[in-house]
Amino acid sequence: MNWDLANLVGVVGSVLMIAAYAYSNLAARIDFRLFNALNLLGSLLLVLSLMVHFNLASMLLEVIWALIAAFGLVRTFLRKSPA
């Protein structure tokens, strides 16, 4: 694998998404703002990486993942009570 900027950005995105997944399984109580923000940022970084090293299946997955995370993030900010 070539360690260019696109791959580095993709790896950082992957680490953020893995951190979100680990957090959701290890935390006693989940802060959905943090969880969705990590997923959104991670998926957007992977989308950036995929714009250089394109793969259709991965791009579809990451775009849908970003949309779900963005929806969840907006929903948590619209709630009156804390998540």
pLDDT in tens, 15-40: 999 999 999 999 999 999 999 999 99
Long-range pairs, 16-22, Cβ under 8 A, ≥24? 16/41, 16/42, 16/45, 17/42, 17/43, 17/46, 17/65
Contact 6, 52 (CB under 8 A): yes
Helix (H, G, I), strand (E, B) or coil at 28: coil
- Residues 63/51, Cβ–Cβ less than 8 Å: no
Report the predicted TM-score, pTM, of the whole model to 2 decimal places. Answer: 0.92
Q: In the predicted model, is pLDDT for residue 83 greater than 60?
A: no
